Amino acid sequence: MSDVRYELLDGLAENPALPTDLIDRLLAAPGRSFELARRPGLTEPQLDALITQDAHGVALSRHLPPQVRRRLTAHPNPSVRTALVISSTPDERDLFERFTADPAPRVREQLAKSDRTPADLRARLAHDPAPDVRAALAQWWTDAPEPVRRTLLTDPEGSVRAAACAGYFRRLPHPVPPADLVPALLADPLTRAGAAPHCDPDTTDLESLAADPDPDVRRALATHPGLPAAIRARLAADPRALVRLAVLARPDTPAADRAALHDSITGPFEPPGEDVDEETAIELEIDHFGVGIELRMLHLPWVTADPLPHLDSPHPAFRRAAAASPDLPAEARARLLADPDNEVALAAARSSPDPIDPVTAERLDREHRPVKRMRWRPADAHPLPVETLRRLADDPTPRMRQLALRDPELPAALLERLAADPDDRVRRIAASHPAHTPATFRALLADPSPAVQRAAAVNPALPVEEMRALLDAAGL
């Protein structure tokens, strides 16, 4: 095969407009099976050819004919059977039932995770011989019937109990342990943190929990709604920043204490004294820097339920929670939409019953700086009008120029210019536009950026002649 980039062939394999005869030609290209296998409408001979190359990729497809899917249930590779569980639909009960007895624990573990597994079959997995399967069930099936939850909470294997009574679950809502099991769960170090928020303050040794060596236990206790003021104050002075953050988020924390707590977790890190061992010192530092992300994600439902007292809070997390209220008066919403913190303004926009005006929508997108790389941006939720999109084609900021390409009828001159933009991220978005000329498509297919090439190859508006020319050049 010639030196045609793999990215071009990957794009063609995913192109929804690829003709059937070109699919047959691509089947001869090594490494294209995964992209091809996800296509709908493949013939059985095409699927047979793909199965010989990548049965796992084929099994992940949600477009398989029933006879092919059933044939793959007997495949000797457990990863193929696991992929079938991932791609199955609830009406394929016979497939799910077969896999509850699969010899490979990883297949049964996938059944435990899947919300599509019929409930009665899923319940069987609470007695599965493999602890990892039972632990997966505990983490993923959070609304399981109480008998199932009880079985998992009292499992003889510690890892299963820890998964069933944890501070974090894979699904919402997080389950609440039955009250009669809480004392035993508190006595178990593996389940203590998960049980602490649900203990009875009148019958529990709260002092002991507040002094527990596990910071996760202390943090969980700090969320308990019935804490006495003395225990709350003790946790407010905890050396771990995440414990103090939990106290800050309480509705009964006095305003002055909340301000001091906020300063303590957002200020510069102060190294502990020499009496603290090196491992603990490292944990304290990691905790302090991790709290910034936690603060941005802080959930304060009591503020959202009564937002007006918090409109001028000095803490952005509280203003953001207030902005999430759908019942804000118009003047209050306008103030929060103009908040200097972009996350606060975004929360006000998300909860608004009315469309956001174009000027505000553009500002929200321009100022958006996510904590981590993500594809979503405010313009996805608050689309900009055509006149704004066309103006942004000349914006000095590349990420704003990308928005111009959301206009399906962008004037040819602007489209051609953006297809040759100096920023490869702009060119990649441009390569997906439906209105290119054949000459522009050829230029994009020859772009120095592999990502741009792939985006052009996957574009359903790519002329079939250009698709054939790529395969000819690849010797396929």
- Same domain for 322 and 292, yes or no, is no
- Dihedrals phi, psi of 382, to nearest 5 degrees: -130, 80
- Same domain for 258 and 318, yes or no, is no
**DSSP-derived secondary structure for 416-471:** HHHHT-SSHHHHHHHTT-TT--HHHHHHHHT-S-HHHHHHHHH-TTS-HHHHHHHH
- Same domain for 293 and 187, yes or no, is yes
Please compute the mean of the pLDDT values over residues 153-181 and round it to a whole number.
96
| Residue pair 102/74 in contact by the 8 Å Cβ criterion | no
How many structural domains compose the chain? Answer: 2
Kindly state whether residue 214 falls inside one of the protein's structural domains. yes
Convert the pLDDT of each residue in 413-472 to its tens digit: 999 999 999 999 999 999 999 999 999 999 999 999 999 999 999 999 999 999 999 999
Convert the pLDDT of each residue in 299-325 to its tens digit: 999 999 999 999 999 999 999 999 999
DSSP, res 28: T
- Same domain for 198 and 253, yes or no, is yes
- Same domain for 207 and 260, yes or no, is yes
CA 151 to chain centre: 30
- Same domain for 283 and 369, yes or no, is no
Kindly state whether residue 166 falls inside one of the protein's structural domains. no
- Same domain for 219 and 283, yes or no, is yes
| Residue pair 78/104 in contact by the 8 Å Cβ criterion | yes
Local structure of 351: helix, strand or coil: helix
- Same domain for 289 and 304, yes or no, is no
Convert the pLDDT of each residue in 122-158 to its tens digit: 999 999 999 999 999 999 999 999 999 999 999 999 9
Kindly state whether residue 219 falls inside one of the protein's structural domains. yes
Range of the domain at 185: 176-270+278-297
Instruction: Quote the pLDDT of residue 1.
Output: 44
- Same domain for 236 and 181, yes or no, is yes
Question: Would the pTM count as exceeding 0.85?
Answer: yes
The CA distances from residue 334 to 288, 300, 368, 385, in Å, are 34, 21, 18, 21
- Same domain for 180 and 293, yes or no, is yes
**And the tokens for 272?**
């502990």
